[in-house]
A and B are shown apart, each in its own frame.
Chain A
Amino acid sequence: MAPAAATARRVPAKSEVLGLFRSLLRTARQFTDYNIREYTKRRTVDGFRMNRTLSDPDAIASAFSDGTAQLEVAKRQVIIYSLYAPKVKSIMDVKP
């Protein structure tokens, strides 16, 4: 608990924020499931856009640690989804 609180207080550099954004998008693209993939991409973009105006250092730090935790979840879930991916893709992924 204590180390997490310590990192939460540190304000991330702009490059770190951009790095997190890119990693989230990269991970999102790897989801085998059409809906989850599109949602993760959309939610990432919208989440960063919503928090663009944050100025309070504490709020920025907590948003960043939130995003980092989400990235970990996404990385794990990409693997699980790929393990149990149905043989047939979504109709939305099938080229007409």
Chain B
Amino acid sequence: MASKLLASAASTLRRTLTEKNATYHLFRRLSTSSAAADPSPSAADSYEDADGITMKGVKISGRPLYLDMQATSPVDPRVLDAMLPYNLSRYGNPHSRTHLYGWESENAVETARSQVAALIGASPKEIVFTSGATESNNISVKGVMHFYRDKKRHVITTQTEHKCVLDSCRHLQQEGFDVTYLPVGTDGIIDLEMLRSAIRPDTGLVSVMAVNNEIGVIQPLEEIGKICKEFNVPFHTDAAQALGKIPIEVDKWNVSLMSLSGHKIYGPKGVGALYMRRRPRIRVEPQMNGGGQERGIRSGTVPTPLVVGFGAACELAMKEMEYDDKRISQLQERMLNGLRERLDGVIVNGSVERRYAGNLNVSFAYVEGESLLMGLKEVAVSSGSACTSASLEPSYVLRALGVDEDMAHTSIRFGIGRFTTEAEIDRAVQLTVQQVEKLREMSPLYEMVKEGINIKDIQWAQH
């Protein structure tokens, strides 16, 4: 009830703020004749000058510190440096076979292909460039099942997959395929015995993500791969959040297909890759038909600058993985200790041991997550996946873990990355603690808990 009140108060506040801003913008539009000089003419309520930014009714004196690395990561300057030449004079189409422009672009694309392949222990011939992990997941799930539709009618996946896998499965169900959504334990890890018993003779694909985007838990991929090999079922994994962060060996995991993304590893947005095993060969029905690029699996001109950036990001990730990992683990520890020292009721969602350190999904008891996010305007964080952050629904991933409804509403995901500093962590901890204390002070629930009342025993009256 308290959370509902807060939410409604927040939305009224937001409405008044935007209204005020709309009039402000109208003034501005009337007074300036050079609308073209405005860098963002379409952003109706944003305004930026040396004193601060006003956007969506929020005024901040500086750009917020960024702790949302699971949504996307900043582009590494070394990656941008590799990309720029292909946005300038080297603009050839990599599929042009008749001139130098095409040849140099093709060389660059092939170099990138081997850089991506090297990071996952694959052969460059097994890499298909796509627009991102969502497309790779769609090709994997729908493409495999469509190709083998005569004999294989069943897919196994988990309840905590990314939306694009779940939605592809939903699509298959509408076409008459069977889908098993495996539940996960309270730590977010699937039960291997349950997977084993779910496999049927007509199972055409097992799809389990490597690192969860919301809670950062790492699934036991090697063991899953073994089970799939035993039953001779193709294994697909969405490794968008795992690439460059945990060591990946396609042969060790025995994956047939793997989805990769560029913008989670300090590369450009709009590019990704699909790993497709050659031996034993896995085949898919293409989603995109056309010029037959990427061996006909993904037609459409390969975007040379993006692919070059993705390749450079992979090479960097390979070099920097150890260094980054050590640092990110230290920062995660610093953050968690900082929060726990000064607050009670801080709960880490998902397994603590089997977890990628750069993802810290925590719940603050008796505090509503959205209100906390609103108060933390100087820290760029989210309550979960960026895809679902528009809705006030609690995350389906947390619900799959069996997190209580009230705790699922209180989650915040801190994403730590290569460019995060100690000072940022300290500032984020300080601001979070301040905000949580402030919200708890207002919360009648917290007061009752302090008095020793068990919240679960309260009988709520219906209005």
With both chains docked as a complex, state the minimum distance between the C-beta of A91 and any C-beta of chain B, in angstroms: 3
With both chains docked as a complex, state the minimum distance between the C-beta of B112 and any C-beta of chain A, in angstroms: 17
B176 surroundings in chain A (CB, below 8 A)? none
Give the size category of A's interface with B: 20 to 34
Query: Is B52 located at the chain interface by the 8 A CB criterion?
Result: yes
Query: Is A73 located at the chain interface by the 8 A CB criterion?
Result: yes
Would you call B419 and A91 a contact (CB within 8 A)?
Answer: no
Would you call B63 and A90 a contact (CB within 8 A)?
Answer: yes
Query: Is A89 located at the chain interface by the 8 A CB criterion?
Result: yes
Would you call A90 and B419 a contact (CB within 8 A)?
Answer: no
Would you call B81 and A87 a contact (CB within 8 A)?
Answer: no
Which of B49, B60, B77, B418 meets A74, CB within 8 Å? B77
B52 surroundings in chain A (CB, below 8 A)? 88
Would you call A91 and B60 a contact (CB within 8 A)?
Answer: yes
List CB contacts (< 8 Å) of B405-447 with chain A: 418-421, 423-424, 427
B110 surroundings in chain A (CB, below 8 A)? none
A69–B80 Cα distance when bound, in Å, is 15
> What string of 1s and 0s marks CB contacts (under 8 Å) between A3-45 and chain B?
0000000000000000000000000000000011011101100
A87–B51 Cα distance when bound, in Å, is 9
Would you call A35 and B419 a contact (CB within 8 A)?
Answer: yes
A95–B421 Cα distance when bound, in Å, is 17
Query: Is B50 located at the chain interface by the 8 A CB criterion?
Result: yes
Query: Is B346 located at the chain interface by the 8 A CB criterion?
Result: no
Q: With A88-B48, A91-B378, A92-B423 in contact, do A39 and B62 touch (Cβ < 8 Å)?
A: no
Query: Is B86 located at the chain interface by the 8 A CB criterion?
Result: no
With both chains docked as a complex, state the minimum distance between the C-beta of B11 and any C-beta of chain A, in angstroms: 25
> What string of 1s and 0s marks CB contacts (under 8 Å) between B57-76 and chain A?
00011111110000000100
Would you call B61 and A94 a contact (CB within 8 A)?
Answer: yes
Would you call B378 and A36 a contact (CB within 8 A)?
Answer: no
List CB contacts (< 8 Å) of A38-90 with chain B: 38-40, 42-43, 46, 70, 73-74, 76-77, 80-81, 86-90
Query: Is B460 located at the chain interface by the 8 A CB criterion?
Result: no
Which of B53, B60, B77, B419 meets A81, CB within 8 Å? B77
A91–B419 Cα distance when bound, in Å, is 15
A94 surroundings in chain B (CB, below 8 A)? 61-62
With both chains docked as a complex, state the minimum distance between the C-beta of B312 and any C-beta of chain A, in angstroms: 10
Would you call A76 and B81 a contact (CB within 8 A)?
Answer: yes
Q: Which residue of A lies closest to B424 (CB)?
A: A92
With both chains docked as a complex, state the minimum distance between the C-beta of B66 and any C-beta of chain A, in angstroms: 7
Q: Which residue of A lies closest to B66 (CB)?
A: A35
A38 surroundings in chain B (CB, below 8 A)? 419, 421
Would you call B63 and A86 a contact (CB within 8 A)?
Answer: yes
Q: Which residue of A lies closest to B50 (CB)?
A: A87
> What string of 1s and 0s marks CB contacts (under 8 Å) between B341-359 and chain A?
0000000000000000000
A43–B77 Cα distance when bound, in Å, is 13
With both chains docked as a complex, state the minimum distance between the C-beta of B315 and any C-beta of chain A, in angstroms: 13
Which of A35, A39, A88, A90 meets B50, CB within 8 Å? A88
With both chains docked as a complex, state the minimum distance between the C-beta of B375 and any C-beta of chain A, in angstroms: 15
B427 surroundings in chain A (CB, below 8 A)? 91-92
Would you call A36 and B419 a contact (CB within 8 A)?
Answer: yes
Which of A35, A42, A74, A89 meets B62, CB within 8 Å? A89
Q: Which residue of B lies closest to A47 (CB)?
A: B323
A74–B77 Cα distance when bound, in Å, is 8
B64 surroundings in chain A (CB, below 8 A)? 91
Would you call B63 and A89 a contact (CB within 8 A)?
Answer: yes
Would you call B424 and A87 a contact (CB within 8 A)?
Answer: no
B81 surroundings in chain A (CB, below 8 A)? 73, 76-77
Nearest 8 pairs of A and B residues by beta carbon: A91-B62, A35-B419, A77-B77, A94-B62, A73-B81, A39-B419, A90-B63, A38-B421
Name B's A-contacting residues (CB within 8 A). Answer: 48-53, 60-66, 74, 77-78, 80-81, 84, 323, 378, 418-421, 423-424, 427
Known A40-B77, A88-B63, A92-B421; further 20 A-B contacts with Cβ < 8 A: A35-B66, A35-B74, A35-B419, A35-B424, A39-B418, A39-B419, A46-B323, A70-B78, A77-B81, A80-B77, A80-B80, A81-B77, A86-B63, A87-B49, A88-B50, A88-B60, A88-B62, A90-B62, A91-B63, A92-B62
